[in-house]
Amino acid sequence: MRRFKILLARREAADLERRTRLWRRAFRNYRRLECGRIREAAIRARGLRLYAAWSTPPSSNRIQQAMPLPWEPLEKARGANIYFQR
């Protein structure tokens, strides 16, 4: 009777170990897949943000900031042989 109980305990332990390995493997695969999906979504979002920034026309205040300064002060400085150093 005692041997039979030991045999049942071994079989139950082996079955639990096998099921645990299967669950861990399934969870690990699911986690990898989900992390991959999250990473792909982050890359796509970054690309879409860049595209949106590139495709939208600049606002009026950005255009004013980008306008060049008048050339008269620079021409006067060049005419007086004044050189700017950085």
Give pLDDT tens digits for 65-81.
555 566 666 666 666 55
Model confidence pLDDT, tens digit, residues 5-23: 999 999 999 999 999 999 9
Which of the two residues, 76 and 42, has the higher pLDDT score? 42
Scan for tokens 């049942």, then name that residue.
8
* pLDDT exceeds cutoff 50 at 86: no
Per-residue HEC secondary structure of the chain comes to: CHHHHHHHHHHHHHHHHHHHHHHHHHHHHHHHHHHHHHHHHHHHHHHHHHHHHHHCCCCHHHHHHHCCCCCHHHHHHHHCCCCCCC
Q: What is the pLDDT of residue 29?
A: 95
Residue 54 confidence class, pLDDT cut points 50, 70, 90:
confident
Residue 57, C-beta contacts closer than 8 angstroms, at least 6 positions apart:
none
Residue among 68, 66, 44 at smallest CA distance from 57: 66
